[in-house]
Amino acid sequence: MWRWLNGPGKVFRKALPGSTNYMNAYDKQGNLLRTRNAGREAGSRRNKPEEETLEEDEETAARRDLENPDLTDEEPRDEESDARGGIPKERRSDMRPYPLNDQFSSQAVLSEELREELYTQVAVYKHDISSVAASFSVDIRRVAAVVRLKTIEKQWVAEGKRLAKPYSEAVLAMLPTTPFRPNTANPVTPHEPINDIEVHAHTRPQIFWPASESRQFTREDAAKVFDSKLLPADKRIPLPMLVDLERWKLEGLDRQERTKKQIEADDKARREEDEKVRKRTEWQARTQRVVQGRRWDFKFQDISAEKVGKDGRGKDAVGYRYGMPHEDRKRGMLKIPTSVE
Amino acid sequence: MPRRFHGLKKPRVRQDWSKETLYNLSRLTLPPAANKTFFQQKWLAKSMTRAYHNPYVREGQWTRMFDRRLPSVVSMDHRYLARHDGSEMAGGRGAGAEVQGREDEEGEVGARVTPPKTPYMHMTFWPLERRLDTAIWRALFASSVKQARQFVVHGAVKVNGKRMVYPGYALNPGDMFSVDPERVMFATGARKRKRGSAVSEQDLREERERSRAAKAAEERGMEEGREGEESDVGMANLESDEEREALATKPEEEQDARKAMKNLMTRAKRILEDAKRQLSGKRQQELRAFAQSVRKTMSKYRPETEAAAAAGSESGSADTTIESLETALAEIMTKIPSDTLSTLPTSEQQAAITASASASNAQASPESEKEDAYTARKDAELLHAALERARANPLDVTRPYATPWKPREWMSAFAFIPRYLEVNQNVCSAVYLRHPVARPGLAEVPTPFAGETVGLAFNWYLRRR
């Protein structure tokens, strides 16, 4: 072990400046693969353009391109390579920390500037989270999380609490990051695919469904075949607005009309949401009687005794717990909370 | 909990950043399946994978958590969805019409590009990734799962702002967990050598290695080697006498303002030297220029700062000297316009400069000339940055980790953050965005094993042995 650690493994002792330092980027002797390949490539660039650089099969490469658009095989720019100490940029295969597992690679995290920009867009300019997510190609949930975390950070700064700055700098230098370059030709680098849909359990079985040849059998019909309540993909994606926008563009609507339509759609959605809230409060006022307590409000509501079902143990019924003692007070039974508000 | 956790005879890859794990990872191979029964293969795969995926969770507990339904996603292209309604999939002979004119990689016209397979098997252990201790480790807040577990149990971790003491708490999508930054710095930083000193073992070793290399180079008498190494030796010497003294005393405790500033300078130098060891030539030049400019500024503004220190405090105690220096710097920065060099001098600016110069100490403001003002501002800015950096990463013997803070050894090979977490390193908090998923060509559960091994382990837990 010590021979390895002082020999080929020595490269992992310290981080490579300005680059990631994963195991798959090195060969067995501890040489950086990409410097070797870069040297060879420079010699044979004219006759054989980029064949040995791509070690994985092409389709995964195409896929990874979508995932990590900044990991391209283009020639690194001079100042960037200087910051890295003359080492060429990482290739896709260099991003794998586990040599045996070729299905996992380290993916880029948001850079400090990009986080700041997302926070400004949402918290300062008050832009819609989903539109920010679409324009920066960052998952909606991630945008929300970034704003939440940034808010805490600002709070700490205002309070004068010490941030873990050296830690942050060191860790972000070790990780691949998605940059944000304002005042350049393309400031935004897409971070991740934003329109993911979960593979629904109902769509797993393969179904043989005869349909007549003349029938226009669309995605909607296919969804119905899998499950009567399943929605088609264009409605299940997190940002269905993008599909509508694209459709309007294909229809030949100009920019103003599209914006108008979008505003209309937004208004409609907002109205629907308001209506829902209103209905809910109305229902509560109708069915619930609230008695103000000293510490709590007591809410009374009529219930149906029929809900217990045939065996008297219906899950949503009142009195569900009777006859089914909990074990959580037994010795050795640990009661871990399942959620924290 | 096995007796030999990092045994070398039976190599196990563990969830930590140790050198033993790194070594075991380097020699990890697919277990040979020849002359082994299927049961034996599964057993081996299961024991290998469970040694990595949280062995602190008992087997019975894990088998209850195990789920054969593995989550996955497919990413949709909204442009494609807008262009087609799905009926195009029934075109041609019933499996989609061939696309005309498009060439794939082999040059075959109209061939369908098959998407990569979704690695479901790699997702076998995804329920364990939900656990709080594992998530803390994945967010790079602890150096091992065991340490993360200790942080939780010792009450250093909050979930959604409330203290959570159960390492087995299964995070829900949207949960925010935060670890005490001091603990994170301790877990990820270089370890102290002794209780009373701020120096780390890894720094000492580096120094030793450098001096050894220098000595070897000298013995060989190589011309080009000596020049480079001599400077290193010089650096080591500088550290050994001047810096040691500076490091031993804190500038806040310094009585004399000049001494404090000198101390500060030494420390700034050290900070920069730390950076120098990792940086390239261009950056090094910049840093050297910075150090020079700092020295210049110090000599230029020393009278003023000393006067301020004398005025501000009775006996020039503790942090007033430093603070006065900072206020002086801030003054310099506010007084001197930022872009005087590029723009032509206007009468108003000149007036402002002269006014500010007359308002401040007469001896302190050296010249009202444009260039000098500009360079002074630059110097002040640079010194300010150095101060900021020194304040963010101070030398402090009372801390439980070596200071100035540095990442620990072997960390970089393990440093990655999976996409289901969004981490803010500044506040040592992270949000568990969603459950890990598999997508075509990528599984989000980081596991060091090949698909075959994890597949066998999955089969083991199907309970049909």
pLDDT of residue B219: 87
Tens digit of each residue's pLDDT (9 = 90 or more) over A218-256 = 999 999 999 999 999 999 999 999 999 999 999 999 999
pLDDT class of B464 with cuts at 50, 70, 90 = low
Residue ranges making up the domain that contains B127: 19-72+117-190+409-413+422-463
Burial class (CB in 10 A: 0-12, 13-18, 19+), A69: middle
Residue B284 has pLDDT above 80, yes or no: no
Lowest-confidence segment of B83-97, B129-143, B301-315 by average pLDDT: B301-315
Tens digit of each residue's pLDDT (9 = 90 or more) over B211-242 = 999 999 888 876 554 444 444 443 444 444 44
pLDDT of residue B40: 94
CATH number of residue B38's parent domain:
3.10.290.10
- Residues within 8 A of A (CB atoms), B 391-420 only: 392-393, 404-407, 409-419
Pairing of strands B73-75, A196-198: antiparallel
pLDDT of residue A74: 43
Q: Is the CB of A13 inside 8 Å of chain B's CB atoms?
A: yes
Q: Write the single-letter amino acid at A116.
A: E
Helix or strand run (H / E) with residue B439: strand B438-439
Lowest-confidence segment of A2-11, B168-177, B186-195, B268-277 by average pLDDT: B268-277
Confidence (pTM): 0.75
Mean pLDDT score across all residues of chain B: 75
- Which whole number is the average pLDDT over A287-308? 87
Tens digit of each residue's pLDDT (9 = 90 or more) over B104-128 = 444 454 556 788 999 999 999 999 9
pLDDT of residue A264: 93
Closest by CA to B409, choosing from B267, B184, B205, is B205
Q: Looking at per-residue confidence, does B395 or B173 come out higher?
A: B173
DSSP-assigned letter for residue A306: G
Among chain B residues, CA nearest to A57: B116
| Residue B63 within any structural domain of the chain | yes
| Residue B397 within any structural domain of the chain | no
Cα angle B306, B307, B308; round to 5? 90
Q: How far is B345 from A316, CA to CA, in rounded Å?
A: 79
- State the CB neighbour count (10 A cutoff) for residue B13: 23
Q: Looking at per-residue confidence, does B164 or B381 come out higher?
A: B164
Tens digit of each residue's pLDDT (9 = 90 or more) over B77-106 = 999 999 999 888 887 777 777 766 554 444
Lowest-confidence segment of A133-142, A285-294, B265-274 by average pLDDT: B265-274
Q: Is the CB of B58 inside 8 Å of chain A's CB atoms?
A: no
- Point out which residues pair with A290 in neighbouring strands: A299
Lowest-confidence segment of A36-50, A319-333, B190-204 by average pLDDT: A36-50
Residue B375 has pLDDT above 50, yes or no: yes
- What six digits make up the tokens of A208? 């043989």
Lowest-confidence segment of A95-104, A133-142, B268-277, B426-435 by average pLDDT: B268-277
Q: Which residues contact B250 (CB under 8 A, 6 or more apart)?
A: B395, B396
Q: How far is B48 from A313, CA to CA, in rounded Å?
A: 43
What does the buried/exposed string (b/e) look like for B243-252 if buried means 16 or more CB atoms within 10 Å of the residue's CB?
Answer: beebbeebbe
Neighbour order of strands in the sheet with B157-159: B162-163, B157-159, B175-179, B429-432, B421-424
- Residues within 8 A of B (CB atoms), A 280-309 only: none
Sketch the domain layout of chain A as residue ranges: 2-95, 109-178, 205-312
Helix or strand run (H / E) with residue A188: none
| Residue B105 within any structural domain of the chain | no
Q: Is A151 left (phi over 0), alpha (psi -120 to 50) or beta?
A: alpha
ipTM of the assembly?
0.80
Q: Looking at per-residue confidence, does B369 or A269 come out higher?
A: A269
Residue B197 has pLDDT above 90, yes or no: no
| Residue B184 within any structural domain of the chain | yes
Q: Where are the alpha helices (DSSP H) in B53-196?
A: 59-65, 78-83, 126-129, 132-138, 145-153, 181-188
pLDDT of residue A211: 87
- Residues within 8 A of B (CB atoms), A 135-194 only: 139, 141-142, 145-146, 148-150, 152-153, 156, 162-168, 170-172, 174-175, 192-193
**Bond prior to B440 in cis (omega within 30° of 0):** no
- Which whole number is the average pLDDT over B279-299? 53
pLDDT class of A47 with cuts at 50, 70, 90 = very low
Cα dihedral B452, B454, B455, B460 sign:
positive
Helix or strand run (H / E) with residue B306: helix B281-312
The answer to whether B426 contacts A163, with C-beta atoms less than 8 Å apart, is yes
pLDDT of residue B431: 97
Among chain B residues, CA nearest to A23: B413
What does the buried/exposed string (b/e) look like for A285-298 if buried means 16 or more CB atoms within 10 Å of the residue's CB?
Answer: eeeeeeeeeeeeee
Q: How far is A258 from A279, CA to CA, in rounded Å?
A: 31
Q: Where are the alpha helices (DSSP H) in chain A?
A: 2-6, 33-44, 58-67, 78-83, 112-119, 129-136, 140-159, 165-174, 219-226, 233-236, 240-251, 255-287
Phi, psi angles (nearest 5°) of residue B407: -65, 150
Residue B262 has pLDDT above 80, yes or no: no
Please, how many CA atoms are within 13 Å of residue B321, restricted to the half-sphere of its CB?
Answer: 22
Cα dihedral B174, B180, B182, B183 sign:
negative
Best of B26, B202, B396 to disrupt the A interface (most A CBs within 10 Å) is B26
Q: Is the CB of B136 inside 8 Å of chain A's CB atoms?
A: no
- Which whole number is the average pLDDT over A312-328? 69
pLDDT of residue A28: 85
CB B196 within 8 A of CB B160: no
Q: Is the CB of A195 inside 8 Å of chain B's CB atoms?
A: yes
A–B CB contacts, 8 A cutoff, strictly below = 292
CB B132 within 8 A of CB B152: yes
pLDDT of residue A320: 58
pLDDT of residue A64: 47
pLDDT class of B287 with cuts at 50, 70, 90 = low
- Which whole number is the average pLDDT over A187-193? 92
Lowest-confidence segment of A227-231, A323-327, B60-64, B115-119 by average pLDDT: A323-327
Percent share of chain A, pLDDT over 90: 49
